[in-house]
Amino acid sequence: MTKTDIARKVTQEFINTAISNNTSYSKHKIAAYIHDLHPEKFNDKEDARKYVRIVTGSMGRKLASQDKQLAADFALLEQPVQELDLKPFIVPKQYKKALVMSDIHSRFHDRNALETAINYGLKRDCDLVIINGDLLDFYQFSKFDKNPNILKYFYSEREWVTDFLELLQKHFGKVIFKKGNHDIRRELHIQRKLNDVPEIDGLTDIRDYVFFDGSTVEVIEDYNIIEFGKLNVMHGHEYYGSGVHVAYNRLNKAMDNVISGHSHVTQNSIKKSISGKFYGSWTTGCLCSLSPRYNPQNNWNHGFAIVEKEPDGEFIVDNKQIIGNKIF
């Protein structure tokens, strides 16, 4: 067999395997395989690669069918890189009433607002807490200027959050913690350092960071959506920009029922579709300080929501604001 014959035969075998397994093999990999197979014929991998290119390139034989030719060409292009594996988390049927709290931003949390929300959730017999993002502030990993007098309080942020999650599990039984944009600050920080300090690989998982004995806390990635019956639960940062009419804008983006936080304001928007179905969007207030250094004047408000789910997935959202000691 000539070098061209070998290259053609082996490449065709790779193409067949790639097509039947819905994958691909680069010409580079095939060349390395050919060189290993026939070191006596091919000087090096580069030599083998030259022949793979001859039999597959514009000078090579073309298949009669354009579809088949294109499939064969794609079988020799490396696979795309998949960065995210999007998968909604479906809340198990057994949970019927959720206290939804977002934007606690520990340790910039508002103690009164937080205690009020939890107390109300218990009085309403919630069997589930959904922490809808930004439980941790991770001030220490902020890219903005940090005040050392504030920074020192964040050495114990980990302990605060661990104890807080344990408190919630003790009172409600089940906690689902969906990460927001702040909750991933630490893992992004570690990722940035990873090129310089490979030993720290594996330290990123927040499950380990806030684990307590007997924890059944479910942690949901920041890019995944929670489905509580027919209601989608998202933090809010998953959509780029939401303007002033946050609930309205997120409804237009979601085109489905959605509850979110991130914007620190209580808003409701319900619209009827052309087919007569109603879709709603609710945004919950925050449970953190209303006057942070980086944004001392704002239109934020404290709040939370109670979501009651029926067996068919229909639901009722009770979107509450906290003003002082009053709940509206």
Q: Which residues bind Mn ion (CB under 5 A)?
A: 134, 180-181, 262
State the residue number with the nearest CB to Mn ion. 262
Closer to Mn ion by CB, 103 or 166: give it: 103
Q: How far is the CB of 264 from Mn ion (least distance, A)?
A: 8
Provide CB contacts within 8 A for 119, sequence distance 6+. none
286 and 102 Cβ atoms separated by less than 8 Å? yes
Q: How far is the CB of 146 from Mn ion (least distance, A)?
A: 19
Ordered alpha helix ranges (H), the chain: 3-21, 27-37, 45-56, 66-74, 111-123, 148-151, 157-172, 185-193, 206-209, 246-254
> How many angstroms from the chain centroid is the CA of residue 105?
18
Q: How far is the CB of 69 from Mn ion (least distance, A)?
A: 49
- CA 280 to CA 99: how far, in whole Å? 18
Instruction: Give phi and psi for 189, each to the nearest 5.
Output: -60, -45
Q: How far is the CB of 114 from Mn ion (least distance, A)?
A: 16
Q: How far is the CB of 90 from Mn ion (least distance, A)?
A: 23
- CA 29 to CA 45: how far, in whole Å? 9
- CA 231 to CA 128: how far, in whole Å? 15
Closer to Mn ion by CB, 48 or 100: give it: 100
Q: How far is the CB of 223 from Mn ion (least distance, A)?
A: 13
> How many angstroms from the chain centroid is the CA of residue 77?
29
70 and 58 Cβ atoms separated by less than 8 Å? no
Helices (H) and strands (E) in the chain, counts: 10, 13
147 and 293 Cβ atoms separated by less than 8 Å? yes
- CA 318 to CA 328: how far, in whole Å? 10
Q: How far is the CB of 300 from Mn ion (least distance, A)?
A: 12
- CA 287 to CA 99: how far, in whole Å? 13
